[in-house]
Structure 1
Amino acid sequence: MFRRLYVRLALATGLLFIVVGSVLITISTRTSELYALETTQRVNQNIALHAAEDMPLLGPNGVNEAALKELAHHVMFINPIVEVYLLDTSGQVLSHALPEGTVLRNRVDMQPLRDFINDPSKLPIFGDDPRSKTAKKTFSVSPVLDVSGEPAAYLYTVLNGSDYEGIQQSLAGSYNLKTGVITIIAALVCATIGGFVLFFFLTRRLQRLGRSVREYREGSYQGTINLDTRHLPQDEIDVLGSAISEMSERIEQQFNAQREIDLNRRELIANVSHDLRTPVSSVQGYLETVLLKELDPDIQKDYIRTAHKHCIRLNELIGELFELSTLESGNVEPDWENFPVMELIQDIIHDHEIAAQEKDISLSAESSKQGIRVCADIAMIHRVLDNLIQNALKHTPKGGSITVRVSHDESQVRVEVADTGEGILAKDIPHIFERFYKPNTESPTLGNGLGLAIVKRIVELHRSQIAVRSESNHGAQFSFWLPQPG
């Protein structure tokens, strides 16, 4: 129960209410008490002055005890909480009208009395209570003048005497006080209960979020954590939920990517094993035949030539595997430079002219404008065009044509390699850029299925995409875009 966040929040809030309520009650009680004392002192500010004027408190023989007792009787009759003392100029208690043994202090500090007389605006001012050794009480004081007009004594009246304290103690168990205490306790209980309800609804989304994370951690939650917070205000809980949803989605994507990598790795191993087994077996077979049998020199030479051809094929396959692996590692970036693209195309066409002439294939280049320049890695683009033209030569029959076209707009250059060959079936187009993919065809000129995969990766490194259009028996067109120099 106490592990629930909303329970702990409600209890903490209730405790805070109790502490703050207690402090406020203490402060308000003290403030009310001071206010009452200040009011009492202001109302009775001149009581000592009037009393001293009405009664002759000093006679020829000292203190007029009869007058003092009569004065005390009248004052206490009107206000029972007032106590009357007569002090000398040093604060010594000269006389009083209280019962014997009740006065515990014979001297009163004069400084508060002087403050009261000099500046009575700063009330309440507390003076010594003669009936207590330590207590301070509000008071009123007035000098008693002699015949020369000088203070001969002081009439000191304590305004909240012992009777006042007795009344306070009797009120401690009064109905109004009990009602107030009960009301405060009830308010605190209601506030705590309200806190339980309020925090339950405020933390409900956090509970739902925690439940989803727990289910995801335990594996019972399928897929990613998707929390729909579109109808809710964008507060911290929504931000946290969105972050957890994005995190779970990223984890799911990484998991799927890792699973795909593992699948591709197994497929790669299987494909590499298959593609390497054929030339290795051929080389081994021909060499074993040459070693074990006495062959005619011409036949022996043919066997060695065939084994050499398979070695060349094996070397090309290993080189392309290494190149594709390097391109897909993420550690290769194009070496950007500006160069005229048609000069590069002419060089590549020149490299393939002999192969094209042997198959009676027309190999040419076209450009919408002379001197078109691009910003790219010249070695990588050379590799792309070389692979595309080799691919076109493999699939274009005798008498066909291969054309490399260059066009441009304001910011990009489009390069297209088009042939009039056998074309690509619609079902094969989505897969031709996959590693080791080979269409279902009996063509003996098919490669190892890595050339177009290399092309696709290089074009992607140039922030572009390779596109293909083709119809069966109507040729194929491969195209991509390169940026012009800025």
Structure 2
Amino acid sequence: MNLTLTQRLSLAFSALLLACCGASAWLQIRSSDLHQMEVVQSLSRDLADHIAHHTTLMDANGLRPDAVRQLFSQLMMVNPSVEVYLLDSQGHIQGDDAPAGHVKRDNVDLAPIRQFIAGHALPILGDDPRSVAGKKVFSAAPLRSNGAQPSGYIYVVLLGEEHDALAARVAASSVLRTTLWSMGLVALLGLLAGLFAFDLITRPLRRLTEAMRRFDADGEPDTQPAVPRSASAGRRDDIAVLETTFAQMATRIGEQWRALTRQDQQRRELIANISHDLRTPLTSLHGYLEMLSLKADTLSESERKRYLAIALAQSVKVGRLAQALFELARLEHGNVQLALEQFSLADLVQDVFQKFELPAEARHIRLRASIPARLPNVCADLGMIERVLTNLLDNAVRHTPAHGEIAVDLAHQDGKVSVTVSDTGPGIPAAQREGLFERPFSAGRAHSGGLGLVIVQRMLQLHHSQISLLERTETGAAFRFDLPAAEKLAVAGIAR
């Protein structure tokens, strides 16, 4: 059967409740019967002894069955529920007043009789002569003639056949039916209360199950089903804890899935942009080389040199792009290990400036470094930080117009050294700022960072740092990142 958890719990509870009610009813009836037998046996404890001492059931010849039958008939007329039997010393029935065929046994076990005479705790059940295996409460007393050993026993069954017949008639009466109906009503009310309690307890679990069934990690945040959160989430409630945990898990899975989707989209854009960036210089390189091959005899020396210079420049561009791709692949796959050391960031800035002096002078661009006094050293990978500064300055030189300025400002605050690289170029439009350090833009966009900014971001992430684009009121773009300061102080630099 394909049943829900609530249905299975309800069926199990119903079965247990019915079993408990049945057991309770049986125990109650059994306890009532034992109580009744104890009361009857206690009240009639001396009945057999009274009969033995106030009647003549024996003479010189032994037991007198005729006297016994007469006496027994009189007693049973006074109290129809009792049955009196005369037993010999071995427990064999010697006299009774039972109708023909009603006595099913010819002897009675004497062990319960001896326990009764010895005064053991009541109730004590003895053999019922009128049934094959029945047990009933009784009263018993020994019969002695001259010797110390009993010559026989008076055995009185206190709840005989007449009592059983009357009890059977009463069992079918309205009193018993009312009692059973009352017990059934109590059981039904208990069942309804239990089913309601199970429904109330499992309601949060059903909500959670429905939310899990409708959960879609690929969906947008505004299309996701509401994840249930119990009002008792702060209490020690297992279901509430499960709801909270699932809510956290669903949020995290959704975020991770959307991050993977964005990364896949960025990968597709990266491939498309790289294909575009490679196709343009390769096409130009192929065209000029083909021109040199086909028209080698007709071109002048100056034309050949110009074509070769263009082809060489395109070849260098392709080589730089391939190197950047190789470096980005190493950074993405975690194959780079940091070689941390302490060094002077002021000296590194001066060294990087020397790389760009000629390109900057050719375009009449001023390079300026602002380095405060007593600037501490930094602890980082020297080669990577040099590459970071190189990429940032390369972008700044390419996008700064003639007679512009490129500035590198260093500052020490809260145990970190901040680096700000700014230029006076056209800046970055607001539409292109989102994801600037996550994917390269095509070459046609203004101030495109290409792979350079992506590589810068990956290298700084390895240093547990981030690069950010600063908001500026003037023209140009400004990038900033921080590095941890070392204990040793560097020699103060001078702004130039």
TM-score normalized by structure 1?
A: 0.84
| DSSP-derived class of the 1:151 partner | coil
Could you list the per-position Cα deviations for residues 407-427 of structure 1 after superposition, in whole angstroms to 9, with x for gaps in the alignment? 3345x3223134453362563
Q: Give how far 1:298 is off.
A: 4.0
| DSSP-derived class of the 2:430 partner | coil
Q: Give how far 1:315 is off.
A: 1.1
Q: Which whole-Å CA distance do the structure 2 matches of 1:103 and 1:96 have between them?
A: 9
| DSSP-derived class of the 2:450 partner | coil
2:430 counterpart of 1:427: yes
**What does residue range 16-35 of structure 1 map to in structure 2 within 5 Å?**
16-35=16-35
Could you list the per-position Cα deviations for residues 404-450 of structure 1 after superposition, in whole angstroms to 9, with x for gaps in the alignment? 4443345x322313445336256367255341266865xxxx67622
Matched with 1:318 is: 322
| DSSP-derived class of the 1:479 partner | strand
Matched with 2:153 is: 154
Q: Is the 8 A contact 1:275 1:448 kept in 2?
A: no
Could you list the per-position Cα deviations for residues 216-245 of structure 1 after superposition, in whole angstroms to 9, with x for gaps in the alignment? 57x999721213435355644444444554
**What does residue range 342-361 of structure 1 map to in structure 2 within 5 Å?**
342=345, 343-356=347-360, 359=364, 361=366
| DSSP-derived class of the 1:450 partner | helix
Q: Give how far 1:393 is off.
A: 3.3
CA 1:353–1:105 in 2, change beyond 3 Å: closer, same or farther? same
Q: Which amino acid aligns with 2:427?
A: I
Could you list the per-position Cα deviations for residues 272-297 of structure 1 after superposition, in whole angstroms to 9, with x for gaps in the alignment? 22211221111111101110112233
Matched with 1:327 is: 331
Matched with 1:172 is: 171
Matched with 2:273 is: 271
Q: Which whole-Å CA distance do the structure 2 matches of 1:470 and 1:311 have between them?
A: 37
CA 1:271–1:44 in 2, change beyond 3 Å: closer, same or farther? same
* RMSD between superposed Cα atoms in Å: 3.6
Q: Which whole-Å CA distance do the structure 2 matches of 1:236 and 1:279 have between them?
A: 64
Q: Which whole-Å CA distance do the structure 1 matches of 2:219 and 2:294 have between them?
A: 65
Q: Is the 8 A contact 2:344 2:377 kept in 1?
A: yes
Structure 1: gaps spanning 5 or more residues: none
**What does residue range 324-473 of structure 1 map to in structure 2 within 5 Å?**
324-329=328-333, 331-332=334-335, 335=338, 337-342=340-345, 343-356=347-360, 359=364, 361-364=366-369, 366-374=371-379, 376-396=380-400, 402-410=406-414, 412-419=415-422, 421-422=424-425, 424=427, 427=430, 430-431=433-434, 432-433=436-437, 434-436=439-441, 441=446, 449-469=450-470, 471=472
Q: Which amino acid aligns with 1:450?
A: L
Q: Give how far 1:451 is off.
A: 1.3
Between 1:103-112 and 1:223-232, the stretch displaced more is 223-232
CA 1:61–1:238 in 2, change beyond 3 Å: closer, same or farther? same
Structure 2: gaps spanning 5 or more residues: 488-496
CA 1:127–1:420 in 2, change beyond 3 Å: closer, same or farther? closer
Matched with 2:491 is: none
Q: Give how far 1:74 is off.
A: 4.9
Q: Which whole-Å CA distance do the structure 1 matches of 2:327 and 2:231 have between them?
A: 51
CA 1:220–1:388 in 2, change beyond 3 Å: closer, same or farther? closer
Q: Which whole-Å CA distance do the structure 1 matches of 2:261 and 2:423 have between them?
A: 40
Q: Give how far 1:312 is off.
A: 0.6
**What does residue range 144-293 of structure 1 map to in structure 2 within 5 Å?**
144-194=143-193, 199-215=198-214, 223-232=223-232, 235-293=237-295
CA 1:83–1:368 in 2, change beyond 3 Å: closer, same or farther? farther
Q: Which whole-Å CA distance do the structure 2 matches of 1:3 and 1:66 have between them?
A: 73
Q: Give how far 1:472 is off.
A: 6.6
Q: Which whole-Å CA distance do the structure 2 matches of 1:320 and 1:8 have between them?
A: 63
Q: Which whole-Å CA distance do the structure 2 matches of 1:382 and 1:283 have between them?
A: 30
Matched with 1:95 is: 95
Q: Which amino acid aligns with 2:63?
A: V
Q: Which amino acid aligns with 1:372?
A: N
1:299 to 303, 313, 324: 303
Q: Is the 8 A contact 2:422 2:479 kept in 1?
A: no
Q: Which whole-Å CA distance do the structure 1 matches of 2:211 and 2:469 have between them?
A: 45
CA 1:204–1:277 in 2, change beyond 3 Å: closer, same or farther? same
Q: Which whole-Å CA distance do the structure 1 matches of 2:207 and 2:471 have between them?
A: 53
Q: Which amino acid aligns with 1:39?
A: V
2:483 counterpart of 1:482: yes
Q: Which whole-Å CA distance do the structure 1 matches of 2:442 and 2:303 have between them?
A: 35
Q: Give how far 1:357 is off.
A: 5.5
| DSSP-derived class of the 2:371 partner | strand
Between 1:171-180 and 1:200-209, the stretch displaced more is 200-209
Q: Which amino acid aligns with 1:369?
A: R
Matched with 2:115 is: 115
Matched with 1:49 is: 49
Q: Is the 8 A contact 1:423 1:472 kept in 2?
A: no
Q: Is the 8 A contact 1:421 1:474 kept in 2?
A: yes
Percent of matched pairs sharing the same residue: 33
Q: Is the 8 A contact 2:375 2:411 kept in 1?
A: no
| DSSP-derived class of the 2:483 partner | strand
Could you list the per-position Cα deviations for residues 193-223 of structure 1 after superposition, in whole angstroms to 9, with x for gaps in the alignment? 5555555555544555455555557x99972
CA 1:400–1:213 in 2, change beyond 3 Å: closer, same or farther? closer
2:124 counterpart of 1:125: yes
Q: Give how far 1:402 is off.
A: 4.7
Q: Which whole-Å CA distance do the structure 1 matches of 2:93 and 2:248 have between them?
A: 85
Q: Which whole-Å CA distance do the structure 1 matches of 2:21 and 2:448 have between them?
A: 87
Q: Is the 8 A contact 1:400 1:419 kept in 2?
A: no
Q: Give how far 1:456 is off.
A: 2.1
CA 1:287–1:236 in 2, change beyond 3 Å: closer, same or farther? same
Q: Give how far 1:338 is off.
A: 3.5
Q: Which whole-Å CA distance do the structure 2 matches of 1:472 and 1:96 have between them?
A: 126
Q: Give how far 1:63 is off.
A: 1.0
Q: Is the 8 A contact 1:55 1:67 kept in 2?
A: no
CA 1:247–1:313 in 2, change beyond 3 Å: closer, same or farther? same
Between 1:339-348 and 1:459-468, the stretch displaced more is 339-348
Q: Is the 8 A contact 1:223 1:252 kept in 2?
A: no
Q: Which whole-Å CA distance do the structure 1 matches of 2:423 and 2:19 have between them?
A: 90
Q: Which whole-Å CA distance do the structure 1 matches of 2:154 and 2:417 have between them?
A: 114
Q: Which amino acid aligns with 2:172?
A: G
Could you list the per-position Cα deviations for residues 93-119 of structure 1 after superposition, in whole angstroms to 9, with x for gaps in the alignment? 232333344323222222222222234
Q: Give how far 1:4 is off.
A: 6.4
Q: Which whole-Å CA distance do the structure 2 matches of 1:482 and 1:118 have between them?
A: 101
TM-score normalized by structure 2?
A: 0.82
Q: Is the 8 A contact 2:428 2:477 kept in 1?
A: no
Q: Which whole-Å CA distance do the structure 2 matches of 1:230 and 1:357 have between them?
A: 68
Between 1:63-72 and 1:2-11, the stretch displaced more is 2-11
Q: Give how far 1:62 is off.
A: 0.6
